[in-house]
Structure 1
Amino acid sequence: MNIRQETKNDFNAVFEVNKLAFGQDSEANLVELLRQSEAFIPQLSLVATLGNKIVGHILFTKIQIINDDKSETDSLALAPMAVRPEFQNKGIGGQLIKHGLDKARELQHKSVIVLGHEHYYPKFGFIPAEKYYIKSPYEVPTNVFMALELVTDGLKNTNGLVKYPQEFDTV
């Protein structure tokens, strides 16, 4: 398996991976909208390939945390992450996450926020965001809204409400 930055030639296959993985178009459409937004970071839209076939995709985009004092802290959202159903449970998603987190560190980002499975993401170091006094803008259980510091003290002096790009409101 190979993990690389997505190219324009991958867009249709990435749409299909997200549609199949989630059983609907919402996340696939979200990826297309985010690509056109200011939140998009091309180096953090990654595909997993086996041979010439795209079997997985992960996207990290820019978000802000609006702190209680109204200052803003830059962070990343990990969303969505998708693997074709016939390739799930083979470690591809985990490799995409690890590769993406390493790339985010390389690009000097300090933290990542994810809304995801409470037993899956902690394997990669994510902990409930409430431990940093960071809140979700969505009505979700606190144990599925998680944060990860990419560097020591990456969320120091950060607290408040996550502000996602408006494109997330389409999901």
Structure 2
Amino acid sequence: MEIVIRQEKPEDYALVYEINEIAFGQNSEAKLVEALRKNKDVFIPELSLIALYKGEVMGHILFTKITILTTDGQYKESLALAPMAVLPQMQLKGIGSALIKQGLKKARDLGFASVIVLGHPAYYTKFGFTSASYYGIRPPFEVPENAFMAIELIDGALKESEGVVYYSKEFENV
């Protein structure tokens, strides 16, 4: 199955909204994507990617800037992987994996050092994510420890990053 991953374009926005709405069974994530696009402090156009199969958009992934406030008062930039959506009928066909792999590669190429994700541990560990608690990184809300994960795109990037992740205000409505 040939999957093409490319940067989202404005003409893709309506389809991306629909894919997120269908994949999640409601529109909170779709509205989150729209709100994050408007926040130029966190939105990185090159990290809003779509997956095409036979020329049709089947999935979307978004990485946006977040901050880790370390216990020693330093601010470390990282990325949030959220949301990622694949149409239900196209799940388990490698589209999500292709989006994650290409997204992580692009983030590394752009000079980002780490990514944080809240998701299914059995899935995200396949890509090198590990519990964020390994680095002493905590979420700003209650979640199962093993579901809050991190990956270093640059070796040692999360060394001395013990602290709390801060997401942009747009995440408060999800």
**TM-score, normalized by length of structure 2?**
0.97
Q: Secondary structure at the match of 1:43?
A: strand
In the aligned structure 1, how far is the partner of 2:89 from the partner of 2:130? 29
Q: Secondary structure at the match of 1:56?
A: strand
1:61 — aligned with what? 64
In the aligned structure 2, how far is the partner of 1:33 from the partner of 1:85? 24
Q: Secondary structure at the match of 1:34?
A: helix
Q: Secondary structure at the match of 2:122?
A: coil
Identity of aligned residues (%): 56
1:138 to 137, 141, 161: 141
Letter in 1 for 2:13: F
1:97 — aligned with what? 100
1:118 to 96, 102, 121: 121
In the aligned structure 1, how far is the partner of 2:65 from the partner of 2:142? 21
Compute the displacement of 1:51 (Å). 2.6
**Long gaps (5+) in structure 1:** none
Q: Secondary structure at the match of 2:92?
A: coil
Letter in 2 for 1:29: K
1:12 — aligned with what? 14
In the aligned structure 2, how far is the partner of 1:121 from the partner of 1:50? 22
Compute the displacement of 1:138 (Å). 1.3
Q: Secondary structure at the match of 1:80?
A: strand
Letter in 2 for 1:82: A
Q: Secondary structure at the match of 2:126?
A: helix
RMSD, aligned CA: 0.6
In the aligned structure 1, how far is the partner of 2:117 from the partner of 2:141? 12
In the aligned structure 1, how far is the partner of 2:35 from the partner of 2:55? 25
In the aligned structure 2, how far is the partner of 1:13 from the partner of 1:7? 11
The reply on whether 1:80 has 2:83 as its aligned counterpart is yes
Q: What is the count of residue pairs matched by the alignment?
A: 171
In the aligned structure 2, how far is the partner of 1:27 from the partner of 1:126? 22
Letter in 2 for 1:153: G
Compute the displacement of 1:50 (Å). 1.5
**Long gaps (5+) in structure 2:** none
Compute the displacement of 1:52 (Å). 2.7
In the aligned structure 2, how far is the partner of 1:116 from the partner of 1:142? 11
In the aligned structure 2, how far is the partner of 1:31 from the partner of 1:128? 25
Q: Secondary structure at the match of 2:105?
A: helix
The runs of at least 4 aligned residues of structure 1 exceeding 2 Å deviation read: none
